[in-house]
Amino acid sequence: MTSRAVTRESLDQASLEESGPFFEVLKALQRRDGDNRLRTLALDLIRAVPHPHHGYPAEFLELLVQAIAHPERSRDELRPFMADNSAMNREAAKLFFEWGGAERMGDRLVRQVATLCSLHTAEHDESALEFLRARLFG
């Protein structure tokens, strides 16, 4: 896989169909580095590339950072964001929850990261995709 796997179309395909080159890149990253590496990629994106119409609350971002840094701790503080009015906040909170709260979410987590990346980059220029390419392929 190469950086050509990161296109607007491949992000949408990964999010909607759980297939395509971006989905495969995320699955390979998950196999190699684990679930928290996927979560970190999504968090890095939303922190480094501000969304043009949505600002994540600082408290929420800090809770996400802590959930990644300390996976053994409870994530109950993130639960209210699952019912948030903001779809962006709900999608980010889902990085840590599956129905039932399973630790390893497999392809569901890959799809969730793809969904968040797709939503977050939808209204951006090419720089948001370049950020993802740099993070994935150095």
71-92 average pLDDT score: 86
For 6-32, how does the pLDDT look when each residue is reduced to its tens digit (9 = 90+)?
999 999 999 999 999 999 999 999 999
Q: Place 98 in a pLDDT band, splitting at 50, 70 and 90.
A: low
Domain boundaries, the chain: 3-137
In this prediction the pTM is 0.86
First to last CA, the chain: 13
What residue has token string 């990629």?
Answer: 41
